[in-house]
Amino acid sequence: MHPLRLDSNRYFSSDASERAIARELFAGIEKLPIVSPHGHTDPAWFAVNAPFEDAVSLLIWPDHYLLRLLYSQGVSLESLGLRPRDGAPFETDRRKIWRLFAQHYYVFRGTPSRLWLDHTFCEVFALDRRLELETADYYYDAIAEKLAQPDFRPRALLERFNIEVLATTETALDPLTHHQAIAKSGWDVRVITTFRPDEVVDPDHEAFAESLPQLGDLTGEDVMSRKGYLRALENRRAWFRQHGATATDHGPPTAQTADLSSSDAEALHALVVTGKADESERELFRAQMLTEMARMSLDDGMVMQIHPSVWRNHDERLFRRFGRNVGGDVPNRGGFTAQLKPLLDRFGDAKDFTLLLFTLDETTYARELAPLAGLYPCLKLGPAWWFLDSPEGMMRYRRRVTESAGFYNLAGFNDDTRAFFSIPARHELARRIDCAYLAELVSRKRLEMDEAAEVAADLAYRMSKKVYKL
């Protein structure tokens, strides 16, 4: 058996003077509340407030980081308890699934998943030995015992984690039943929604054909006409705002935007909704809809986030058998300077419009993203995201964007996770990395200590509240 412990100096420099500065900075922000302005946790958890079931459904199934790396090592998703769409058999014994996970826990060495999970095991569940096959049953039973206690219910944990605001993400057609239940319960913690319209604005989305008529039925608008379609989207945005949403979220394959004339946009709309558009026309429709979403954000004040440069569902077999969000997405080449120009020509100088940019293509950080954000009033940069939300990825992000964009054209940190228990671990990691970076600046006389302390608090807490209008 190997002990499990978290070093108090983790992620800080090995240089003693820099480490001391980082420790002092971190001490000043460690206990600040968590603002989680963008993520994918299940609002039903907080509406119903039922006990979590077990370690498997809580820690493995929602986390695509875990699924994809295990799959890469030959561990089938069926053996991890995921139900195939084709009706093939799958493992239902959750203790057996947990043992399989523990047996392969070594594959996460050196990954952020290992850091987040060890933090969860140690800090949340008070486990004192490392997860491996020999301790699998100990973990499974200890976690089950804790989850049965009232202070491990979802609402109690949200308060224990010191989460001041938590944003979930729902599709444009979602009735927001769980958010209504949360609001009616009188619980005073803010759990809000985010508007994600991909399935009704992306003709290549597998649900587009069936979602379009549902959008019309839901809003009473004629979505076959462009004017009716845009009114329907505006209607749904208003519905989301009524339930606390301050932001929209968009996952196009590229950041390409367009600004077509009204007549050209109407003709393109007719091709798309009748299923007659070719690949280039569907791409142009997505580009036009990003610009339309920007116009709507200027009108209603919602912050607009775009997450391009992802090849979603790259493993087609995995997608066909299990659907989305099981780890089958990979980074793709990105670009922003030319792609965003049509949108920025219209709205780039608007001070009442906020567009947050994310990327999985690090090559765009210094060449495109930081210079753009350092120019246009509407632009803010999202944090190092997804494959880059790791110690090295976060530090590279700071080094590549700060000198051009500064700190105050950024959006703080968001965790963008479905794995609820990883939220405090992810925010702690981000705060420690920021303090390590700021300690470098202080030790090299590029920043005064009082300024670094202010920046640390801004990055950890105040910046997200301001940018996301929380």
**What CATH number does the domain containing 99 carry?**
1.10.2020.10
Determine, yes or no, domain membership for 7: no
CA nearest to 289, candidates 243, 251, 337 = 251
Burial-class residue 4 by CB neighbours within 10 Å (0-12, 13-18, 19+): middle
Section 119-128 average pLDDT: 97
Determine, yes or no, domain membership for 203: yes
Determine, yes or no, domain membership for 406: yes
- At residue 103, the pLDDT reads 98
Determine, yes or no, domain membership for 11: no
Determine, yes or no, domain membership for 5: no
Q: For 373-404, give the DSSP string.
A: HTT-TTEEEPPS-GGG-SHHHHHHHHHHHHHH
- At residue 188, the pLDDT reads 85
Same-domain pairing of 407 and 440: yes
Tens digits of residue pLDDT in 51-105:
999 999 999 999 999 999 999 999 999 999 999 999 999 999 999 999 999 999 9
- At residue 307, the pLDDT reads 95
Same-domain pairing of 143 and 157: no
List, edge to edge, every strand of the sheet that includes 379-381: 170-171, 195-196, 247-250, 303-306, 355-357, 379-381
Same-domain pairing of 34 and 141: no
Domain that holds residue 371: 16-50+153-467
pTM score: 0.96
Same-domain pairing of 100 and 173: no
Section 243-265 average pLDDT: 97
Residue 120 confidence class, pLDDT cut points 50, 70, 90: very high
Same-domain pairing of 343 and 240: yes
Residue 325 confidence class, pLDDT cut points 50, 70, 90: confident
Tens digits of residue pLDDT in 226-251:
999 999 999 999 999 999 999 999 99
CA nearest to 77, candidates 67, 86, 87 = 67
Determine, yes or no, domain membership for 316: yes
Residue 353 confidence class, pLDDT cut points 50, 70, 90: very high
Q: For 47-94, give the DSSP string.
A: HH-PPP--HIIIIITT-HHHHHHHHHTT--TTTTTPPPTT-------H
- At residue 327, the pLDDT reads 86
Same-domain pairing of 456 and 320: yes
**CATH number of the domain that residue 164 is part of:** 3.20.20.140
The Cα 83–Cα 308 span in angstroms is 29
Tens digits of residue pLDDT in 407-461:
999 999 999 999 999 999 999 999 999 999 999 999 999 999 999 999 999 999 9
Of 152, 184, 209, the one marking the end of a domain is 152
DSSP code, position 167: E
- At residue 56, the pLDDT reads 98
Q: How many domains does the chain have?
A: 2
Determine, yes or no, domain membership for 1: no
Of 121, 152, 183, the one marking the end of a domain is 152
Same-domain pairing of 225 and 283: yes
The Cα 349–Cα 375 span in angstroms is 9
Tens digits of residue pLDDT in 13-23:
999 999 999 99
Rg, C-alpha atoms of the chain:
23
Contact yes or no for 355/336 (Cβ under 8 A): no
Mean pLDDT of the chain: 97
- At residue 189, the pLDDT reads 80
Same-domain pairing of 103 and 230: no
State the pairing for strand pair 163-167/34-36.
Answer: parallel
Same-domain pairing of 205 and 262: yes
Please state the length of the chain: 470
Same-domain pairing of 224 and 75: no
Contact yes or no for 28/439 (Cβ under 8 A): no
Residue 211 confidence class, pLDDT cut points 50, 70, 90: very high
Same-domain pairing of 114 and 193: no
Of 136, 152, 168, the one marking the end of a domain is 152
Tens digits of residue pLDDT in 33-59:
999 999 999 999 999 999 999 999 999
Residue 351 confidence class, pLDDT cut points 50, 70, 90: confident
Same-domain pairing of 161 and 215: yes
Determine, yes or no, domain membership for 4: no
Section 220-227 average pLDDT: 98
